[in-house]
Structure 1
Amino acid sequence: MRVVCVGGGPAGLYFAILMKRQDPAHDVTVYERDAAGSTYGWGVTYWDGLLDTLRACDPESADSIRAGSVCWRGGTAHVGDRTTVHDGDRGFGISRHRLLEILARRAAALGVRVEFEREWSPEDPLPDADLVVAGDGVHSALRERFAGHFRPTAVGGRNTFVWLGTTKRFDTFTFSFVETAHGWIWCYAYGFGADRSTFIVECSPETHRGLGLDSANEGEALELLAALFAKPLDGHRLIGRAEADGRTRWQTFRTLTNERWHRGNLVLLGDAAHTTHYSIGAGTTLAIEDAVELAAAVLREPTTEAALRGYEQRRKSALLAAQSAARLSAQWYENLPRYLRLPPSQMFALLGQRHSPLLPHVPPQLYYYLDRTAGRLPAMRGCKRWLGSRLARAAQKQRGKQRASA
């Protein structure tokens, strides 16, 4: 096959690797609009499940990714002047730059042509290939060219956030919630290098305006945020990536879905097909899982059409749980004051339960005690699951009605 991947992110590069491993005779090219070594973002986080998948598919790149990652375990939450620490699953962080470097090098070693500074616009003709993979991100030019067919829907979140870095290495997944005169502001932080961590700051639009972050330049914003989060930063600095006008890159998250994922020999991959809120830390994992399933479908099915149809069906089904968890997680943070008056240990426990469709409908402290009781009584666990599933189906039905009316 002749395969062209438009977009040199983790999903596109990993799909190229898998296709070459399946059959070295495949002619595979990756076009990336940015220059080599140029990327956005700070660290990528993942868990053991993704590492197992990578090792099963390509042990060599899996070993390189693991060697380039740092490991952390459990979580820490600072709520005002109170702190709670919880054990938890092992997680990993790797710089996005390092991850792409590993994947690009592995792809090239297998015979994939990786061409940088090659960008497709919506007006350009499709690449000449048996299979064209649109892995060009949430703003995919290939998807937008055929938007009438793919029928993308983007739903904006309420809160505003900024993606920063810091020179502090966090050894646990760390949250810090700070109350100001204008409302709560909080961060998520995790390590991805010996002296680097990702540091995401989020708040309501009212808090964002009240603190003056909507008009502050980057230097002013970083100084204010470093003062607000002085406790977790422990004297370390924040690192930004300003816009051309000098302002910090505050944004609202857009949850993207597509009614269809393929058209002829063109198929969507990763963020071009779907996004999930950053608070569940699954974006890169889900994109790579797309690549794994697409490569498996191409190998398994007798025709390209059958492969793309099977890939779309399987991935849409597999994503349902993650998309539900991401929606509920985003809503949890949008309603944060509801939980922050609880004792920190209870608040942290409900933070871990934020994917529950039952939680928004039950007073937080009552939910906490119900959850503890359910852990001891099997009948209560069944009742909790039943209520949660009923509420989830009702919410899905309501979203369907809203899309139909739109």
Structure 2
Amino acid sequence: MCVKVVCVGGGPAGLYLSILLKRQDPSTEVTVYERNPEGSTYGWGVTYWRGLLDKLGEHDPESARAVAEHSVRWSDGVAHVRDGARDLMTRHRGDEGFGIGRHRLLAILAARARELGVRLEFAQEAAPGELPADADLIVAGDGLHSSLRTRDADHFGTEVRAGRNHYTWLGTTKVFDAFTFSFVQTGHGWVWCYAYGYGPEGSTCVVECAPETWAGLGLDRADEADGLALLEKLFADLLDGHPLIGRADADARPQWLTFRTLTNQRWYRDNVVLLGDAAHTTHYSIGAGTTLALEDAMALAGALREHPDLPAALAAYERRRKSELLPIQSAARFSAQWYEHLPRYIGLPPHRMFALLGQRHSPLLPHVPPRLYYGIDKAVARLDTLRRLKRWLGPKVARAAMS
């Protein structure tokens, strides 16, 4: 039984785990250390889907209601393609999606944790050697650059693989009513963005391009102001006069990154366990990072509830989450590769390109000519429709024959 739990990292995973542990046993002493001041966070909004909201409702209805209340919803996907000769748009109905401001999500979870008696320590670095020695469980929820994981990287079997494309995480005051993709051709290649609303105040815009396009446009040399001005010009039709908002480093350099996929062979050592981005990352193009972090917290809390023996609980948590993540990590890898090979798909008619965008998780797609894949996919869909119709008609025809 864990009597004293220390969580390093006050992101969604760490805060939600503290909520679940206090709900399971109010006598558990839970402290969350977050290196940043309260209310300061990176990013603008995060996305999630109906399945996560249902799970949140099962685990803690109070915080789930608050999250739902402060989220925006969409059910459409929109794709714009502009290559000089064409300026085309297609819109498709899809699954119900949600967006919420990251600040708002963290504030909701922090307030709920405090209500349950969790001790929150903001602006506390909490280096590995400074953590309470009498803690029964230490949770490394401190992200991709986790100091706890880095200290024992050989044991955890940490591997980090860098992606090819460059991307930057931006905001805008424009509120999008659908999950929106925009692809713009330049003299140096394609630039594209993913945009989604998170509240009445604005939207998130993730801009991505190949490294040769990034360098050719001068984005590798531009300061934040010049870089934003260029991107605002490229995406002027999409933004409708709204600005892009950046988050520069101290030297005013814009934050262009290459995505790093992190995996670990082992997720715990003694009483230290990895959670969220400290344990794994999945490419942002599948919009699953926050969902996976919260599901980690659910799984770890459940394992601790079901297994009084700590090593058994941590082993069960590792087995479950590694198994559940395998298809998601595969989907994320193929999704990233779809964008890295964008010229293979961008010349298709927009409705076909958008259809293959929705199929970007397929391991078969990179090996089949896009037009052929599209035709096969449509044929299979028609066959599935005919099968469902036949199953539906079967009993009706039988009853008619007997009457």
User: Same-fold call, TM > 0.5?
Assistant: yes
Using the TM superposition, give the Cα deviation of residue 380 of structure 1 relative to its aligned residue in structure 2, in angstroms: 12
Using the alignment, how far apart are the partners of 1:215 and 1:343 within structure 2? Answer: 34
Q: What SS does the aligned partner of 2:352 have?
A: helix
Number of the residue aligned with 2:226: 220
Q: Is 1:145 aligned with 2:146? A: no
1:221-260 aligned within 5 A: 221-260=227-266
- The 3 A distance-change label for structure 1 pair 126 and 229 is same
Using the TM superposition, give the Cα deviation of residue 376 of structure 1 relative to its aligned residue in structure 2, in angstroms: 2.2
Using the alignment, how far apart are the partners of 1:125 and 1:285 within structure 2? Answer: 28
- The 3 A distance-change label for structure 1 pair 31 and 345 is same
Match of 2:171 among 157, 161, 165: 165
- The 3 A distance-change label for structure 1 pair 127 and 223 is farther
Q: What SS does the aligned partner of 1:158 have?
A: strand
Using the TM superposition, give the Cα deviation of residue 305 of structure 1 relative to its aligned residue in structure 2, in angstroms: 0.5
User: 1:354-388 CA distances to partner (integer Å, 9 max, x unpaired)?
Assistant: 0000000000010000000111235999xxxxxxx
User: 1:307-352 CA distances to partner (integer Å, 9 max, x unpaired)?
Assistant: 0000000000000111000000000000001000000000000000
Number of the residue aligned with 1:389: none
Number of the residue aligned with 1:185: 191
The aligned length equals 381
Structure 1 stretches of at least 4 aligned residues deviating more than 6 Å after TM superposition: none
Number of the residue aligned with 1:40: 42
User: 1:260-308 CA distances to partner (integer Å, 9 max, x unpaired)?
Assistant: 0000111000000000000000000000000000000000013011000
Using the alignment, how far apart are the partners of 2:158 and 2:70 within structure 1? Answer: 35
Using the TM superposition, give the Cα deviation of residue 74 of structure 1 relative to its aligned residue in structure 2, in angstroms: 1.3
Number of the residue aligned with 1:266: 272
- CA root-mean-square deviation: 1.4
Number of the residue aligned with 1:106: 112
Using the alignment, how far apart are the partners of 1:158 and 1:308 within structure 2? Answer: 34
1:28-177 aligned within 5 A: 28-80=30-82, 81-122=87-128, 124=130, 127-177=133-183
Q: Is 1:283 aligned with 2:289? A: yes
Using the alignment, how far apart are the partners of 2:132 and 2:269 within structure 1? Answer: 12
Using the TM superposition, give the Cα deviation of residue 247 of structure 1 relative to its aligned residue in structure 2, in angstroms: 1.3
Number of the residue aligned with 2:395: none
Using the TM superposition, give the Cα deviation of residue 186 of structure 1 relative to its aligned residue in structure 2, in angstroms: 0.2
* Aligned residues of 1:122 and 1:144 also touching (Cα < 8 A): no
Q: What SS does the aligned partner of 1:171 have?
A: coil
Structure 2 residue runs of 5 or longer lacking an equivalent are 388-403
The two structures have a TM-score, normalised by structure 1, of 0.92
Using the TM superposition, give the Cα deviation of residue 157 of structure 1 relative to its aligned residue in structure 2, in angstroms: 0.1
Using the TM superposition, give the Cα deviation of residue 72 of structure 1 relative to its aligned residue in structure 2, in angstroms: 1.4
Using the alignment, how far apart are the partners of 2:163 and 2:264 within structure 1? Answer: 17
Q: Is 1:371 aligned with 2:374? A: no
- The code of the aligned residue for 2:29 comes to D
Identity of aligned residues (%): 66
* Higher-Rg member (1/2): 2
Using the alignment, how far apart are the partners of 1:207 and 1:234 within structure 2? Answer: 24
Structure 1 residue runs of 5 or longer lacking an equivalent are 382-406
Number of the residue aligned with 1:6: 8
- The code of the aligned residue for 1:211 comes to L
- The 3 A distance-change label for structure 1 pair 127 and 323 is farther
* Aligned residues of 1:75 and 1:172 also touching (Cα < 8 A): yes
Q: What SS does the aligned partner of 1:169 have?
A: coil
- The code of the aligned residue for 2:68 comes to R
1:298-313 aligned within 5 A: 298-313=304-319
The two structures have a TM-score, normalised by structure 2, of 0.93
User: 1:180-221 CA distances to partner (integer Å, 9 max, x unpaired)?
Assistant: 000000000000010310000000000000000001011101
* Aligned residues of 1:123 and 1:145 also touching (Cα < 8 A): no
1:293-332 aligned within 5 A: 293-332=299-338
Q: What SS does the aligned partner of 2:117 have?
A: coil
Number of the residue aligned with 1:354: 360
